[in-house]
Every structure is written in structure tokens, then in C-alpha cells.
Amino acid sequence: MDRNSFTEKEEFIFDAEIYNEKINISDIAALESFYKKHNYLPNNYINLFLNYIVYYARYNITPPLENYWNSSFKAKCSTAASISDELLTKMNFKTFEFNVGNIFGDTQIHQLCIVYIPTMVDGKIINKSFILDPTFRQFCIKEENRFERYFEEKRYAVKMASPHPGYFLKLYDKGTTFANNLIKYGYFEVNNDNIKTYFDSFYFYLKNKESYEDQNKVGKEYISPIKGEDYLKEIFKHPTDWKIPSGLKIKTPLEMVEEEQKKLKNRLKYFFLHQDQFTSDLDLEEKNSNLKI
């Protein structure tokens, strides 16, 4: 029986589907190997690399009988952030974990991971940073993104009834485009514009209807008075650290490929009964990957 046949399908307010294209693990291993040698990733392969990191987190937070590309990833953010952080740390990338709630002086509501990626642009090494949010889709469930939520019972981490962040992003074209990309890929580049778009949706998520001076604006506003750079400053005041689930062993792509090579090599040795015929290691960059690095 298909392990995904029991997936419970939620209804969402955005049309985006979870990125589900097949990723060649040898390609990602080649990028990891390149990074170890050169201390940067080629700029044109950063998206491929991040697609794998998000996939790894999403796959490992999804129960065996569920389908990760249909999942809402509800209540899985802390686990996803810790998995991403551990995997990236093993590959020697600098990371930073934080919780969205701390930015607003509120309870812990959504755990995230930032990764810093050195890359080459115009002959110079620069650092790009990305916020990983593999589980944002949980804030886009149709049932939780109705205006009527303002008048219903309190739920989940927020202390008041209000629509989820997806509701506020859907109020305008730019927010809708941003949300669809985030749902699909699970990350976005850190810049003032993206930061403001993203965190404004949480600003209004945490604002109950009684907080509006003009009640006619309840559920209609989506641009806060807070600047993107101010959100960024607040982020780095509140580092957090979540541990990966016990029993989950994080393996980097390079470790996976080398492990499979070792298994194949041992099977060949056993078959031919001549160990010295298979002693050379494969070059991950040249023989296992089609990437032109």
C-alpha cells in the first residue's frame, strides 16, 4: 500500500503546491564537497541547495503514512527548524534560530532558522542570508483564515481570536505572490522588503479586534508601521535553540553518497572476491554529479 494514501487533505487559501521535483542527491553532495574546498557556493546553485534543505526538513517532519506535499505541517515548525539547523551546521554553514513570537514580546508561536551562504558575485565573496520556513503552509488553512475568526474562540498559540498570517498576505497582490513562493519553496532571502512583508502578516495576526482604534479597519489592514530593518534588529535580540528529535540521525548529502558508495563497493568486493579491484574512491564532483561547477 502507498505510504501516502492516508494523507488528510486540508483546504488552503493559496494555490501554491509544495515543491516536489526530484533532486539528485549526488548534485547536492557535489555542492557540499565544493563548499568544503572553496568556502562558498556558486550563486546559480543556491536555490537548488536550499530546495534540498527544505525538502529534507519537510520529509523528516512528515509521519510515514502522510504525504509531505499535501501536508499543512501544523505544529511542526520547531522540529523543522532544528533539523535544518543541525543539517546546515554539520555542513559548516552559519545559522541562527529564533522565534517569531519573541519579536513581538509574545509567546513562542513560530520557530525559524536563518542560514548564511557565502557566494561569489562579480569576483568577490559576499554573504547572502535566507530565512527557512518549511512549515508556513500551516498558516494558510482555509478554516483559520476567515474574517469570522475575530469573533470565535481562542485557538493555538495566539492569546486572542484572529485570522492567521495567510489571511493578511492574501489581502494584496504582493503578499499573495510572496505567500505562494514561500509555501512552494519554504524559504526567502533576507532583505528589508521581504522581512517587512513576512513579519507584517504576524503583526496583524497578533492584533486582536479590540486593538483597532477604528473598528472599520479590522481585518482590512496589512501594512504595519514597523520597518523591515526594525524587525531585523529585533530578531537578533532573541536567539533560541531547539534540539532535533531523539532518534533522528542527521546525515549530510556527502555522508549519504559516501555511505552508498561504500555499500556498493563492499558488494562488488564480495562478488568478485578481489578487494584490490575496487580501492579507488569516486570523485563526487566529476563522476556522481551533472553540475557544472
Number of compact structural domains in the chain: 1
Residue type, 177: T
Instruction: State residue 132 phi and psi, 5-degree precision.
Output: -95, 125
How many helices (H) and strands (E) are present in the chain, helices listed first?
Answer: 10, 4
Q: Do the domain assignments include residue 59? A: yes
Q: What is the pLDDT of residue 286?
A: 46
Q: What is the pLDDT of residue 289?
A: 73
Q: Do the domain assignments include residue 90? A: yes
Q: What is the pLDDT of residue 284?
A: 47
Measured distance CA(235)–CA(282) in Å, rounded: 43
Q: What is the pLDDT of residue 281?
A: 45
Measured distance CA(232)–CA(96) in Å, rounded: 12
Q: What is the DSSP letter of 146?
A: S
Cβ neighbors of 249 (< 8 A, separation 6 or more) are: none
Measured distance CA(56)–CA(83) in Å, rounded: 8
* Whether the Cβ atoms of residue 271 and residue 9 lie closer than 8 Å to each other: no
Q: What is the pLDDT of residue 2?
A: 38
Render each residue's pLDDT in the chain as its tens digit; 293 residues. 234 444 457 899 999 999 999 999 999 999 999 999 999 999 999 999 999 999 999 999 998 878 888 999 999 999 999 999 999 999 999 999 999 999 999 778 999 999 999 999 999 999 999 999 999 999 999 999 999 999 998 877 666 689 999 999 999 999 999 999 999 999 999 999 999 999 999 999 999 999 999 999 999 999 999 999 999 999 999 999 888 887 889 999 999 998 877 655 555 554 555 545 444 444 444 456 777 77
Q: What is the pLDDT of residue 1?
A: 29
Q: Do the domain assignments include residue 4? A: no
Q: Do the domain assignments include residue 278? A: no
- DSSP H helical ranges for 112-172: 165-169
Measured distance CA(194)–CA(189) in Å, rounded: 7
Q: What is the pLDDT of residue 154?
A: 81
Output the nine-digit C-alpha cell for 55: 525538502
What's the Cα-to-Cα distance from 17 to each of 21, 129, 137, 256, rounded to whole Å? 11, 24, 10, 27
Q: What is the pLDDT of residue 64?
A: 82
CA angle 127, 128, 131 (to 5 degrees): 135
Measured distance CA(60)–CA(255) in Å, rounded: 17
Output the nine-digit C-alpha cell for 215: 473598528
* Whether the Cβ atoms of residue 249 and residue 85 lie closer than 8 Å to each other: no
Q: Do the domain assignments include residue 207? A: yes
What's the Cα-to-Cα distance from 239 to each of 101, 113, 210, 245, rounded to whole Å? 12, 10, 31, 19
Measured distance CA(181)–CA(16) in Å, rounded: 7
Sheet holding 124-132, edge to edge: 94-99, 111-121, 124-132, 187-189
Measured distance CA(47)–CA(130) in Å, rounded: 10
Beta-bridge partners for 115: 95, 130
Measured distance CA(162)–CA(169) in Å, rounded: 14
Structural domain harbouring 77: 25-235
Q: Do the domain assignments include residue 272? A: no
Q: Do the domain assignments include residue 11? A: no
| Three-state secondary-structure class, residue 223 | coil
| Three-state secondary-structure class, residue 265 | helix
* Whether the Cβ atoms of residue 155 and residue 146 lie closer than 8 Å to each other: no
Rg of the chain in Å (alpha carbons): 22
Q: Do the domain assignments include residue 212? A: yes
